[in-house]
Structure 1
Amino acid sequence: MTSSALAFEWTETNRMWLLENPIRITAYIVAGLVTRWLMHRLIDRATRRPLRRDGAPTAPTLVRHLRERAPQALRDPELIERRAQRAETIGSVAKSCASIVLLLWVVLSGLSVLHVNIAPFLASAGIVGLAIGFGAQNLVRDFVSGAFMLLEDQYGVGDIVDLGEASGTVESVGLRVTTIRDIDGTLWYVRNGEIIRVGNMSQDYAVARVEIPVARTADLDRAQRVGLAAAREAVAGPPAFDAVLDEPQMLGVQDVSAYMVTLRMVITTRPNEQWAVARLVRMKVLEAFETHRIALPTPALACD
């Protein structure tokens, strides 16, 4: 009897460790893998580029901005490609977070099956998390700000932006740091959490502002007609033709001083083309003023 009882107890104990516990742990692992696969599929579906009826790709659903629902935005291949890159970045981060959370869940569930007291682990994790939270507040703020910047598409690689302390062309956009190359070639590393305002000069369209000084004695009506005609001629052909979205508009007198009058003209252009168009128009306007003998302000006129 004693031998049979011992054999029965040994069988029950080993049945739990060799059969029940491995099955439960395997079930948790399988559930974690299946959940991870489903979450990755959902993320891929949200970040992939769906096709229109004509077979052309569109912007990913996850990052489709409200203003992009305009037909011209949906047909812009550069805009669609930029949205796709941004969606891939967000999707990669989301997949990593999902994998880490599921891994922790599987490990803690396996420890509980083995009757390991996980309360000390949870308490230690809470304390460590609290310490990291206090010590890495700026880091967390940088990551949160970077995530919202990507979701809202405040700027992207190639955009010309003004971030307050630094302005120039965006070279990379990360979750923690944005790098900007200014006009002097200096590369600025800007923490996302420190960015309070963003001025993007490369979204949707731009405006070339051309201010033309003429002498106080000049015929202003004639100067405006000649300047507007020269600007229209400048943007009618290459290289400015493809960069201009609308005809030049003469706004009129912008400023008056003791010896000169400033005329302002605006031209709607494609993003990042406003400066080249403005330089070309200024050159053509100056040539037209010289041809039509429209006086420009000079120090001699100022002294008179």
Structure 2
Amino acid sequence: MMYETTALELSDGARTWLIERPIVIAVYVVVALVLRFVLHRIIDRATRDRPGGEPRLLKPLKERLPAGVRDDIAAQRRAQRARTIGSVLKSAVSIVTLTWCVLQILTVFSVNVAPLVASAGVVGVALGFGAQNLVRDFLTGMFMLLEDQYGVGDIIDVGDAVGTVETVGLRVTTIRDLGGTLWYCRNGEIARVGNMSQGHAVGVVELPIAHTTPVTRAAEVALRAALDAAGKDAIAESVLEAPELAGVSKVTPEAVTLRLTVQVKPGHQWAVERFVSQAVLVAFDEMGFAAPVPLLSGVLAPAAAE
């Protein structure tokens, strides 16, 4: 009778280890894989480009798309932003489902997971301190993407680099400057961003004239020439508001400087400044206004000594 009872207990233990627990483990693994697959498909659909519209993932997020940006640049900007945010969400889903599956499997083997969770927390803190720069880059990049501080095609100033954004990642942003150099800027090192492609830009034209030139007359000629230039086909589409004369901006021993401002589309201020400057200089030449002459210390020194 005792032998039969022992045999029955052994058979129950063997059944638990060979049948019940493997089935439970397999169920947990299948549930984790199915959950991960479904959530990844949902994220892929949310980040996928839609004809004539932005990805669904970006709908609840603010977007600061520059006015007048080309459709292809806008689509590329949205696609990269959605793709980067989607990759973060997919990684988070994979980590959560994998962690849940491992913890459930350990509980099947009657392992106390509380010390493991505590140890994992300590290891996470240690890794956080050791890789704090990397963590800071990722967190900063994530907030930049969520807030849409800049995107592909924007002209930005991050301090050490000024140029056009080519890629925006979680860790690194690449910027192509006017000289063609490609800058790799770590997101965590970007303390401030000046975006020249949002809203509108202002073209500022500085016009130096000689002290002998009538200031009022020169101002009238400059404003008339700027207004005529703003209506030309070359820059008419870039100009948002008519040029305004700000007046005399500074007076130096060499010249009196007039300042003109004109509100333009983002990224068009430099072309407009060049065009307006050329038009005003031509008008000054036609009026016979004298150009400012720089003072040479070597020439003035003898006269001052006399």
TM-score (norm 1): 0.83
Q: Does 1:198 align with 2:193?
A: yes
Quote how far apart the aligned CAs of 1:175 are.
1.4
Partner of 1:19: 19
Q: Superposition pairs for residues 51-130 of structure 1, below 5 Å?
A: 56-58=52-54, 60-62=56-58, 66=62, 78-79=73-74, 81-119=76-114, 121-130=116-125
Quote how far apart the aligned CAs of 1:142 are.
1.3
Quote how far apart the aligned CAs of 1:80 are.
5.5
Q: Does 1:159 align with 2:157?
A: no
Quote how far apart the aligned CAs of 1:103 are.
0.8
Is the 1:59–1:84 Cα contact (8 Å) retained in structure 2?
A: yes
Q: Mean alpha-carbon deviation: is it higher for 34-43 or for 158-167?
A: 34-43
Q: Superposition pairs for residues 132-211 of structure 1, below 5 Å?
A: 132-211=127-206
Quote how far apart the aligned CAs of 1:79 are.
3.9
Q: Superposition pairs for residues 205-220 of structure 1, below 5 Å?
A: 205-220=200-215
Partner of 1:253: 248
Which residue identity lines up with residue 53 of structure 2 in the other structure? P
Is the 1:90–1:150 Cα contact (8 Å) retained in structure 2?
A: yes
2:61 and 2:261 map into 1 onto residues whose CA distance is 28
Gaps in structure 2 of 5+ consecutive residues = none
Is the 1:243–1:269 Cα contact (8 Å) retained in structure 2?
A: yes
Quote how far apart the aligned CAs of 1:192 are.
1.6
Quote how far apart the aligned CAs of 1:62 are.
3.5
Q: Which of 1 and 2 has higher RCO (CA within 8 Å, sep 6+)?
A: 2
User: Alignment length, in residue pairs?
Assistant: 299
SS of the residue aligned with 1:15? helix
The root-mean-square deviation of aligned C-alpha atoms, in Å, is 3.3
Is the 2:203–2:272 Cα contact (8 Å) retained in structure 1?
A: yes
Deviations 1:108-134 (Å, cap 9, x if unpaired)? 211221334545643542332222122
Identity of aligned residues (%): 53
Q: Is the alpha carbon distance of 1:301 and 1:284 closer, same or farther for their aligned partners in structure 2, counting shifts above 3 Å?
A: farther
Partner of 2:217: 222
Quote how far apart the aligned CAs of 1:102 are.
0.8
Which residue identity lines up with residue 145 of structure 2 in the other structure? L
2:60 and 2:174 map into 1 onto residues whose CA distance is 24
2:93 and 2:73 map into 1 onto residues whose CA distance is 30
1:199 and 1:79 map into 2 onto residues whose CA distance is 19
Deviations 1:252-295 (Å, cap 9, x if unpaired)? 22222334221111122222211111111111111111112233
Which residue identity lines up with residue 93 of structure 2 in the other structure? A
Partner of 1:35: 35
Q: Does 1:231 align with 2:226?
A: yes
1:251 and 1:5 map into 2 onto residues whose CA distance is 103
Is the 2:203–2:262 Cα contact (8 Å) retained in structure 1?
A: yes
Quote how far apart the aligned CAs of 1:48 are.
5.0
Quote how far apart the aligned CAs of 1:196 are.
1.4
Q: Is the alpha carbon distance of 1:82 and 1:67 closer, same or farther for their aligned partners in structure 2, counting shifts above 3 Å?
A: closer
Which residue identity lines up with residue 27 of structure 2 in the other structure? A
Q: Is the alpha carbon distance of 1:234 and 1:123 closer, same or farther for their aligned partners in structure 2, counting shifts above 3 Å?
A: same
Picking from 260, 269, 273, the partner of 1:265 is 260
Gaps in structure 1 of 5+ consecutive residues = none
